[in-house]
Amino acid sequence: MKAVRFHRHGGPEVLQYEDVPDPEPNADEALVRVRACALNHLDIWARNGLRNVEIPLPHISGSDIAGTVEWVPGEETALRKGDEVIVNPGLGCGRCEKCLLGKDNQCRYYSILGYGNDGGYAELVKAPRRNLIAKPAGMNFVDAASFPLVFLTAYHMLVTKAAIGAGDTVLVLGANSGVGSAAIQVAKLFGARVIATAGDGEKAKKARELGADEVVDHYKQDVLEETRKLTGKRGVDVVVEHVGKDTWDGSVKALAKGGRLVLCGATSGADVTTDLRYVYNRELTIYGSFMASKGELLKVVELFNAGRLRAVVDSEYPLSRAAEAQEKMEARRHFGKLVLTV
């Protein structure tokens, strides 16, 4: 098959479009013919290399996959060749206490497809049979690949962790990102007021189209100061934080008394400091959030089927141009998802 791999860590130039052996699924796995695979920052981190994280080389990235079933074991009854599916990117062991309690994202052996193993920057990918979910009816493959990881994350952050409700005010950082554009929609779905940040007028316009009530230009305005103005100095109830070092202090200080900060990433760095007086004086809660359970993904799929959420796709690239797509992501020239088509 054709795939995009890197044999060493580095910039986009290390990505190679080449012939590789087809995956060989075991009895618990299925083989999926990839039709679309969306990019995530995880792909960039894996390509660059992370301290104390071993990425098997050569490596195929890609966590968000939509395609058709190519092969399943003979005893499989729920899946047939040709079925249109999306792949749940979260890989739990399926046997431990956490997995059996429906908290597979807390599994000791949990990993993400395309991170610790080969993913969807390829014509074929193997995945556990239990991770294949019917593609939402009427949704094309590009849209289907664009939502699992980011909407899983946003739903888990806002609904499961922060228990968002009508009347809450939510600050969403980085509206142009996959998680940001998903969080705006999820927050509005549950009746919240949304203040989003974006880097230019066009991105601000798109954030408002998704439902953001107010948009702050994080390059030209002080986000903390503007948030205080927009809330009458009260602060926000929830912050969706995935930027890290560059925004952390402001995110903590932007919270109202009893506020909740939910963290799912640190794209600008993880070395932060926190003034603990804000935490205890305001009775703040800080939640760590990592992916979500398969059950939550099924809820998200239902919301897409009902037309209550929609995919946000910036642009499409053929698989052979994966390096170009990653360059655009790193330069933050996108709004929503970048998707490779196969």
pLDDT tens digits, 206-220 = 999 999 999 999 999
Token pair recorded at residue 17: 């479009």
Delimiting residues of CATH 3.90.180.10 domain(s) in the chain: 2-147+311-341
* pLDDT at res. 153: 95
CA gap 186, 157 in Å, rounded = 10
Q: Please give the pLDDT value at position 267.
A: 86
Continuous H helices in the chain: 41-48, 97-100, 141-146, 148-155, 178-189, 201-210, 223-230, 248-253, 276-281, 294-305, 322-330
Cβ neighbors of 142 (< 8 A, separation 6 or more) are 36, 66, 311, 313, 316, 339, 341
Span(s) in the chain for CATH 3.40.50.720: 151-288
What is the CATH architecture of 151-288? 3-Layer(aba) Sandwich (3.40)
Q: Is the pLDDT of residue 53 over 90?
A: no
C-alpha R_g of the chain: 20
| Angle subtended at Cα 164 by Cα 161 and Cα 166, rounded to the nearest 5 degrees | 170
Determine the distance from the C-alpha atom of residue 342 to the mean position of all C-alpha atoms in its chain, rounded to a whole number: 21
| Alpha helix segments (H runs only) across 128-245 | 141-146, 148-155, 178-189, 201-210, 223-230
pLDDT on residue 116? 85
DSSP 156: I
Whole-model pTM?
0.93
Length of the chain in residues, anyone? 342
Placement of tokens 């709004």 in the chain: 335
pLDDT for 237-295, tens place per residue? 999 999 999 999 999 999 999 999 999 999 888 999 999 999 999 999 999 999 999 99
Q: Which class is domain 2-147+311-341?
A: alpha beta
Separation CA 47–CA 204 (nearest Å): 30
Question: What's the rounded Cα separation, in Å, for the pair 159 and 187?
Answer: 9
Instruction: Work out whether the CA dihedral 99, 102, 107, 110 comes out positive or negative.
Output: positive
Q: How far is Cα 89 from Cα 1, in angstroms, rounded to an integer?
A: 21
Beta carbons within 10 angstroms of residue 103's beta carbon? 16
DSSP designation for 161: I
Helix (H, G, I), strand (E, B) or coil at 214: strand
Averaged pLDDT of the chain? 95
